[in-house]
Each structure stands twice: as C-alpha cells, then as structure tokens.
C-alpha cells in the first residue's frame, strides 16, 4: 500500500498502534467483498497525519497546532462532541437513531464526514 501511495506522490500511511485493530478490520472487510469505504477512511487519516508530520519537519513554523482541526473532512465522535458542545455519548445516540450519518470502522469506532455533520447541524437549526 505504501509503495503505491509513494509512487502517486503521497507520503506513506503510518498506522498508529492504537489504530491497527481498526485498520485490520477494515482491510479484512474490503478483502472479503465488503465495501472499501472504511479502509479508505483509515488510510486517508493515516496519510493526512503522515503529511502533517513531514511538513512539520520541513517547516515547523508554518504548521499550526490547533486543538481541533475544523478544516478536516472526517471527524471522530469526540471531535464532533466538542464542536457540538455535547457529550460523546450524545453523538453516538444521534448516529444510532439515524439522525447523524457516520461510517462504522468496526466495533465502536465511527467517523463522521464534515458534510454529513453540516447537514445535521442545519436540520437542528431549522427545528
């Protein structure tokens, strides 16, 4: 995978130790005929993290260290909870009830797309 990424001009995807289980589950699901969306999501986040590490090494003064990156397109439950100023369990309830779309990465791990989050917020505002 990393060779293909680097041949296309991307940095290698560094899968963190705490993300290995999610990565392996997504990979197995994709290889057994399931959707590759979860796998792509895990790799996207790993490449994004790797790119930030490389850029910080080259030009540390140009890379800000925000506590929450609002320019990202994919959020964790905890990040959405911070943005909405609610408990992470409330976010999980929104997802379970179908009010907020999310991608399940295996087990309790979910990720929420920025566009889906914005649609959810707009629906809340219109009520």
Instruction: Give the lowest-confidence range in 28-37, 55-64, 76-85.
Output: 55-64
Q: Are residues 72 and 61 in the same domain?
A: no
Same domain, 61 and 3: yes
Q: Residue 75, by phi and psi: left (phi above 0), alpha (psi -120 to 50) or beta? A: beta
Q: Tell me the pLDDT tens digit for each residue of 13-33.
A: 888 888 888 888 888 888 888
Contact 117, 75 (CB under 8 A): yes
Domain identity same for 126 and 75: yes
Residues 35 and 46 grouped into a single domain: yes
Residue where a domain stops, chosen among 65, 86, 118 = 65
Which residues constitute the domain of residue 72? 68-127
> How big is the CA angle at 20 (ends 29 and 27), to the nearest 5 degrees?
20
Mean pLDDT of the region 94-123: 85
Tell me if 103 sits within 8 A of 110, measured CB to CB: yes
Residue indicated by tokens 């629906």: 123
Residue 40 pLDDT more than 60? yes
Please indicate, yes or no, whether residues 10 and 24 belong to a single structural domain of this protein: yes
Number of domains in the chain: 2
Q: Each residue of 83-103: pLDDT tens digit?
A: 989 998 899 889 889 999 988
Identify which has the larger pLDDT, 101 or 106. Answer: 101
Q: How far is CA 57 from the centre of its chain?
A: 23
Same domain flag for 82 and 118: yes
Which span out of 33-47, 74-88, 100-114 was modeled with the highest average pLDDT? Answer: 74-88
Q: How confident is the model at residue 64 (pLDDT cuts 50, 70, 90)?
A: low
Question: In angstroms, rounded to a whole number, what is the distance separating the alpha carbons of residues 118 and 41?
Answer: 19
What is the tally of helices (H) and strands (E) in the chain?
6, 3
Residues 42 and 76 in one domain: no
The stretch 33-44 carries a mean pLDDT of 83
Is the confidence at residue 110, as pLDDT, over 60? yes
């Amino acid at each position: 995978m990393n060779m293909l990424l680097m041949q296309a001009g991307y940095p290698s995807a560094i899968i963190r130790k705490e993300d290995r289980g999610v990565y392996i589950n997504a990979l197995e699901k994709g290889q057994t005929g399931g959707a590759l969306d979860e796998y792509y999501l895990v790799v996207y986040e790993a490449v994004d993290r790797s790119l930030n590490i490389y850029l910080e090494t080259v030009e540390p003064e140009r890379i800000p260290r925000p506590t929450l990156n609002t320019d990202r397109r994919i959020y964790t439950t905890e990040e959405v909870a911070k943005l909405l100023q609610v408990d992470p369990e409330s976010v999980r309830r929104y997802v379970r009830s179908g009010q907020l779309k999310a991608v399940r990465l295996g087990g309790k791990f979910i990720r929420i797309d920025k566009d889906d989050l914005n649609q959810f917020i707009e629906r809340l505002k219109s009520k």
